[in-house]
Amino acid sequence: MDDLRKIDLNLLLTLHALLSEKHVTRAALRLHRSQPAVSHSLALLRDHFHDPLLIRKNGKMTLSARAHTLLPQLEASLLGLNNLLAPAEFDPSTVKRRFRLAMSDYAARILLPPLVAHLRENAPGLDLAISQASREMMLAQLEEGEVDLALGVFPDVGDELQAETLFSERFICLADRRFLPASGNLTREEWLAKPHVQLAAKPDAVDEIEKTLLAQGLSRHICIALPHWSAAVNLLVGTDLVLTIASRAVVPEECHKAICRFEPPLHIPGFNFEQAWHTRKNGDPAHQWLRRAIRDCCQSLNHSFGAE
């Protein structure tokens, strides 16, 4: 315990914010402190640990090797202290927390409205900071402690992470009916010959659709690749473009009247939509409650859309 007497415990909270945000100004905002005060704390922490902790590289701050090892230990220790001081039973109505969630445009479209309504009613002191990234980046952010929870498709999360399936999803196709046969459908050959819109966090991504085509020795022409589902749907009107998209991403009533919905002319396996987190969050009552809230909201979505 002697080492604890050598440091102000508030500095550990500052250290956690600095290592999580990798940015002095963002850490200051998170802590509701001034930037000079957090800079001064960083200098004290560097002196205490005899390590730079944050290193400028390629124009941005990254963690030192020592900081990488400190972050998971620090999170576990702070969580333990928080649980020690917390009431015997977790009360969401009194919690004051900010969670960092990573999710795609698709997840934000279908999940955020019911989740935010649920939080405002049951946990108004629980704030969310939403970011968007590729699935690989989301998993890396969970490993590094940059986000608390990720929502998406995670076939392999590794040993330190956990994932829970929230619902199963399937693919549908959308196109302007004026550029389709009278039947409103396409054969496989016609579908492959069409110019396609691809929804992907980054260009040239190999998603579930591309994997299916590659496995069958097929290919399609990606005319437009972008990460925004709403913009993708709007591109279809008045063009010969085809969009293959997760079924819950589009509400028919919100589409232009020219947009036709039809089944893909080849079998594209569906996917499980999941929430993923680091195992060090398992004992956090607020994190447990948030995961349960997300699970409940997704169950409500299943009822709204019908079982897929």
> What is the chain's length?
308
Can 2-85 and 97-161+278-305 be said to share one CATH topology?
no
Q: What are phi and psi of 217, to 5 degrees?
A: 70, 30
Task: State the CATH class of domain 97-161+278-305.
Answer: alpha beta
Task: State the CATH class of domain 2-85.
Answer: mainly alpha
CA-to-CA dists, residue 232 to 167, 179, 239, 243, angstroms:
23, 17, 12, 8
Superfamily of domain 171-269 in the CATH hierarchy? Periplasmic binding protein-like II (3.40.190.10)
- pLDDT beyond 80 at 202: no
d(Cα 291, Cα 115) in Å, to the nearest integer? 11
What are the domain boundaries of the chain?
2-85, 97-161+278-305, 171-269
Structure tokens at 295: 């699970």
- pLDDT beyond 50 at 69: yes
d(Cα 97, Cα 163) in Å, to the nearest integer? 22
Range from 2-11, 53-62, 238-247 carrying the lowest mean pLDDT: 2-11
**pLDDT value, residue 308:** 45
Structure tokens at 108: 């934000």
| pTM (predicted TM-score) | 0.70
